[in-house]
Amino acid sequence: MEKHKSTDKEPLIIDAENAVFGRICSLAAKKALEGNNVIIVNSEKTIITGNSQNVIKRYTEIRQKGRSHSLKGPKISRSAFRLLKRGIRGMLPDHKAGIGKQALSRIKCFNNLPEEFKNKPMIHLPAHKIKYITLGELSQRI
């Protein structure tokens, strides 16, 4: 099994403000598998497309499945950056071992913009003007 080495170059900083959840996740997973360190900022401003009531209902049902009777899960966090990291984890080949685990360790998510990344170049994904709910709103409602 080939191991990817962590690179010494600057990490990729992705601004998730008004970006679609799935597109952020797939971009971050792809770049992490290539061996890049990926930092995602403003993850609470990421949008999930669709009717907001349906999205809230779906995530609430998933959270209730692993609530009281199951020790094995699914364990879904309420915080926005953890929801985003879980979405990225779903797009990696094997997050428990091998290259998927290494790639997941190269990804960091933040709810806001930390001071150390304020003046660094960022990747901005295009915004969409459709029905949506932000991860911040979702984490408050579930």
- Burial label for 96, CB within 10 Å (0-12, 13-18, 19+), is exposed
pTM over 0.85: no
End-to-end CA distance of the chain: 40
Q: Which residues of the chain have pLDDT under 50?
A: 1-4, 6
The pLDDT tens digits for 9-33 are 788 999 988 888 889 999 999 999 9
Q: Which amino acid is at 24?
A: I
What is residue 2's predicted lDDT score, i.e. its pLDDT?
A: 46
CB 24 within 8 A of CB 18: no
